[in-house]
Structure 1
Amino acid sequence: MRAVIETTHGDPERAAQVAAALVPDNTEEMATTVDGRTVRTEIDRESTGGLHATVDDYVVNCAVADRLTKTQS
């Protein structure tokens, strides 16, 4: 099972900050990259349930990271 999540942020610096906040929580089955204003994370899991749980956690973490970078701008 694989999910690809792309989020767009205000500018490249902010996208890099969001990605930097997310990477420490990545497992071996996750890869996060930045391209301009876009953060892209690929998640691979053996099961649908595992993928669902990981995506759910990731989305919450991404929302928090995005909010925190907004308050710093």
Structure 2
Amino acid sequence: MSRRATIRTAHDDAALVARAISPDNTDEMTTTVERDDTEGDDTTGRLVTRIDRETTSGLQSTVDDYVVNLEVAIDVASQARAVQGDQPTDTGPVSDHDTDSDTTHNE
């Protein structure tokens, strides 16, 4: 008899968290993203992770590992969003900036 657990968690960018956690998933795990259409935002949604194990202790161990890995994935995703938000999207032409150096040569 197989033991099963389903873990659902809501996220601002569920697809990003899913990509961050996917390397830690084992063959006994599947993670999908359910979009939350009520928010009008295609990034808001839920991660749904299903874990199947043969023993109760194996299921408990895998769920414990998953929750720790999920915490790290959420932290990494939030840090990635923060860094991306700090990056300028358009710095404009370089010539728009004043310079302190004299580029003309008078001989």
Same fold (TM over 0.5): yes
Bigger Rg over Cα: 2
Aligned to 1:34: 33
SS of 2:54's equivalent?
Answer: coil
Q: Match for residue 72 of structure 1? A: 80
- Return the offset for 1:9: 0.6
Structure 2 residue runs without a partner (length 5+): 36-44, 82-107
1:7, CA displacement in angstroms? 0.6
CA distance in 2, matches of 1:72, 1:27: 24
Q: Which structure's residues are more often strand, by fraction?
A: 1
Larger relative contact order (Cα-Cα within 8 Å, sequence gap ≥ 6): 1
Equivalent position SS for 1:28:
coil
Structure 2 residue 47 is matched with structure 1 residue 43:
no
Q: Give RMSD over aligned pairs.
A: 1.0
TM-score by length of 1: 0.88
**1:5 matched to which residue of 2?**
7
State the identity as a percent. Answer: 53
Write the distance in 1 (CA, Å) between the matches of 2:53 and 2:80: 34
Bigger share in helix: 1
Aligned residues of 2:4 and 2:52 also touching (Cα < 8 A): yes
Separation (CA, whole Å) in 1 of partners of 2:22 and 2:79:
20
Superposed structure 1 runs of 4+ greater than 6 Å apart? none
Listed as ranges, the gaps of 5+ residues in structure 1 are none
